[in-house]
């Protein structure tokens, strides 16, 4: 029996064994974000860039003045030497009055060193999914304009998505009150959210029921600030632009969705399958008759997550 093919297979196997686990099993993701209004989006982008197990293939920008949001993402990527990550701009949507001014945009208003790609966000998503069938995890942490448009314009990609994880929805009680609410990322794009929740793909949500209880405390912020890396300096700058109130605390909504994409189930006591529908008024409701099965991450392990989150952000 010829031995050369066997030796070749053995060599390939030995190379695979010698690679670090992270190199063998990095999850390919695309992050869809409305970076620039709340502060957690920028910190979430920094978090994913420091992940040893996530391979960020692109960033798509959603909601409002998407070109302005894209400049912020591009500057943060450039500051970290990650201009290999393309940024694609989604369609502009009507501005919604915010409860605080978007001073984060000032940080990047004159930045022109790294620009978004010319391909619109929805086409970028369709293209990259086709190039990586059954390998891409979509993580969407803003209003679902881009992902909803993807479902409606390119339904052929739905079975080619490995997984989709959303910071989205409100099922029951949260830090904000005892009853479910029409969650921001759903109510700003209700038709799109309805399409996304009804699509036949493996969908996980991290709702307000979980995220609202996880805030960046002073001791955690101090650890990040004291790391004094290009990333942590940029994130602290943006945090200061986001608020001038010493009592303000960042809630880690988007980071928890990325943590679920990175290590499924690790940071939650429960991840229950629930039949969900999005109502016409933007609520995510359990409906045993009409609901589509969605994995819902509940009861966050706050201390475990924060220890992991800060360590990953501050790693050199």
- Phi, psi of 95, deg, nearest 5: -70, 145
CATH number at residue 118: 3.90.245.10
Q: What percent of the chain has pLDDT over 90?
A: 86
Residue 152 main-chain phi, psi, to 5 deg:
-80, -35
Which is higher by pLDDT, 308 or 22?
308
User: Which pLDDT value is given to residue 96?
Assistant: 80
Q: What is the CA radius of gyration of the chain?
A: 20
The answer to whether residue 306 scores a pLDDT higher than 90 is yes
Is residue 1 situated within a structural domain?
Answer: no
The reported pLDDT for the residue numbered 89 is 98
Q: Is 3 a residue whose pLDDT tops 50? A: no
**Structural domain total, the chain:** 1
For 206-221, the DSSP string reads E-HHHHTT-B--HHHH
169 contacts: CB under 8 Å, gap ≥ 6 = 183, 185, 186, 205, 207, 208, 276, 284, 296
- Residue span of the structural domain in which 98 resides: 24-314
Query: What is the rounded average pLDDT for all residues in the chain?
Result: 91
Place of tokens 């093919």: 5
* Residue 31 maps to a domain: yes
Model confidence at 7, pLDDT cuts 50, 70, 90, reads very low
Average pLDDT over residues 122-137: 98
| pLDDT band with cut points at 50, 70 and 90 for residue 243 | confident
- Assess contact for 60 and 91: CB atoms under 8 A: no
Mean pLDDT value of segment 217-235: 95
**Per residue in 12-58, pLDDT tens?**
333 333 334 444 589 999 999 999 989 999 999 999 999 999 999 99
Mean pLDDT in residue range 252-277: 98
* DSSP-assigned letter for residue 33: E
Predicted confidence (pLDDT) at residue 1 exceeds the cutoff of 50: no
Mean pLDDT of 276-297: 97
Read off the pLDDT of each residue in 145-151 and give the average, rounded to a whole number. 98
Quick: pLDDT tens for 165-202.
999 999 999 999 999 999 999 999 999 999 999 999 99
Residue 57 within any structural domain of the chain = yes
Structure tokens at 52: 């040893």
Residue 77 · residue 114 · CB < 8 Å: yes
Q: 62-76, 88-102, 103-117, 293-307: which has the minimum mean pLDDT?
A: 88-102
Q: What is the largest CA-CA distance in the chain?
A: 75
Whether residue 15 lies inside any domain: the answer is no
12 inside domain = no
The yes-or-no verdict on residue 276 having pLDDT over 90 is: yes
Query: Using CA atoms, how far apart are residues 316 and 300, in angstroms rounded to an integer?
Result: 27
- What integer pLDDT is reported at residue 102 of this predicted model? 78
Nearest Cα to Cα of residue 188 among 45, 34, 300: 34
Is residue 266 situated within a structural domain? Answer: yes
| Helical axes 40-49 vs 302-314, angle rounded to 10° | 70
Dist CA 59 CA 213 (whole Å): 27
9 in a domain, yes or no?
no
Both tokens of 174, joined, read 């949260």
């Amino acid at each position: 029996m010829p031995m050369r093919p066997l030796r070749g297979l053995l060599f390939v196997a030995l190379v695979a064994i010698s690679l670090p686990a992270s190199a063998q099993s990095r999850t390919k993701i695309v992050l869809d974000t409305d970076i620039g209004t709340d502060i957690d989006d920028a910190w979430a982008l920094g978090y994913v860039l420091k992940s040893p197990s996530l391979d960020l293939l692109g960033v798509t920008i959603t909601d409002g003045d998407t070109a302005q949001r894209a400049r912020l993402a591009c500057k943060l990527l450039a500051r970290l030497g990650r201009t290999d990550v393309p940024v694609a701009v989604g369609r502009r949507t009507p501005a919604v009055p915010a409860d605080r001014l978007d001073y984060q945009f000032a940080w990047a208003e004159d930045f022109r060193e790294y620009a978004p790609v010319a391909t619109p966000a929805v086409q970028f998503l369709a293209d990259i999914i086709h190039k990586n069938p059954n390998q891409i995890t979509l993580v969407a942490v803003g209003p679902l304009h881009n992902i909803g448009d993807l479902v409606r314009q390119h339904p052929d990609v739905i079975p080619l998505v490995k997984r989709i994880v959303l910071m989205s929805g409100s099922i029951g009680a949260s830090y904000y009150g005892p009853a479910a609410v029409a969650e921001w990322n759903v109510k700003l794009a209700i038709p799109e959210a309805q399409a996304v929740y009804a699509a036949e793909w493996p969908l996980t949500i991290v709702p307000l029921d979980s995220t609202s209880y996880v805030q960046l405390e002073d001791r955690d912020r101090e650890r990040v600030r004291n790391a004094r890396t290009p990333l942590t300096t940029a994130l602290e700058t943006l945090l200061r632009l986001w608020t001038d109130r010493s009592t303000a605390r960042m809630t880690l909504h988007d980071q928890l969705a990325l943590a679920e994409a990175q290590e499924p189930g690790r940071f939650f006591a429960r991840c229950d399958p629930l039949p969900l529908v999005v109502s016409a008024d933007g609520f995510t409701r359990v409906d045993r008759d009409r609901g589509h099965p969605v994995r819902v991450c509940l009861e966050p392990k706050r201390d475990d997550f924060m220890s992991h989150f800060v360590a990953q952000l501050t790693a050199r």
